[in-house]
Structure 1
Amino acid sequence: MLLIKFLSLLLIYRNQVLEYQKWAKPLAKKLLEVLLKGLNVNEIDESLEPLFMGTMSININYYPPCPNPNIAMGFRRHCDMGCIILLLQDDTGGLYIRGTKENWIHVNPIKGALTVNIGDSLQIMSNDRYKSIEHCVAVDSSRTRISVPLCVNPSFDSVIGSFPQMLKDGEKPVYKDILFSDYWDHCFIKRPSGKSSLDFAKI
């Protein structure tokens, strides 16, 4: 019965999700081009699109209230695997990012705004110039939290590594060339915490 209800909801909201993805794609491309402009990549053309935004996926995360939020997590600390993530969230809050001093900073939701996270793939290809965001989600004692991350990833057959075009003269690459699908599988099978997943891609 629950499965039937879930499938019916998918049919109801399918068009809205597809419309949102269609709207978000040019925005994601523009954001990536702004980020890459200072790294000798002026445009994401047809040859680069599979590498930086070959796949896009939308998740819908539901976090029910938890009577004891101090002993439970909505989502463990992790980094996202792709290039960038456009996060739409409600006003409940609960997203925390790790600061430079090992502290956790609450990201207050702003009405009408998207939160943009950088993922591991962009850190790898930029040779550490951009850093993926380690984050976690806390639950609320009385309120439900819903978030909708749109993940912009390389295509699964793309090879990611320190992008030669972004390296300065004499700069050594930090990361080896690997298939994005291999990195994806590593993250899902090993379930590394925090930023330790990047060790898999390092030379």
Structure 2
Amino acid sequence: MSPLFDLRDETQLLPGMRQARQSIGRGELIVLPTDTVYGVAADAFSPAAVQRLLDAKGRGRQQPPPVLVANAAAMRALVEDVPEPVQRLVERFWPGALTIVLPAQPSLSWDLGETRGTVAVRMPDHRITLELLSETGPLAVSSANLTGRPAAVTVDSAIGMLGESVAVYLDHGASKTGVASTIIDATSLVGVHDEPLVRVLRDGAVSRGDLREELGDLLEPEAASDA
């Protein structure tokens, strides 16, 4: 069985973090806690590792994973531009449960799947995961479950679904909320577009009302977004 480390136990914290870093460096998968649900993670800059993540979940390249970052500066290195409305969202909701889709930095050499030149980025509100991200760099992370199954809110649930496909499991107790992040598409705010609007791709922990407080009329009307 793949090793499991309970990070609430100080005697397991350092060995667990060290083995997680080493596994990421070898292109392997790890399961880690976040503020929303447990995630399965891979080196975002290793195409083989990202493909391993997709295979473990039973997911195709048409569903590329988001990327978790340690801070807003890391996001800026991954995207083409951070427009001012997105900067306001970052300042209010990060670290937290808001995933933002923007045009990817064209100079980057990576392969997350069929992204159409975009990347979905989030800074999670979880101290240990942020510490790991600061050491590994950006990680491709998707919910730690098989496609079509409920997202794992405990490490045991993740183990039951992903098993030996994951090299290391990091446990930090049940997820705080169990509610997935809200995903928004802000790509139309970059460059010249006839109708620069932010679309909600998935409702989650950050409400549309909270988004509208920051974006105003830049947030696409709810009926149009649902359609």
TM range (shorter): under 0.3
TM-score, normalization by structure 2:
0.25
Bigger-Rg structure (1/2): 1
TM-score (norm: length of structure 1): 0.27
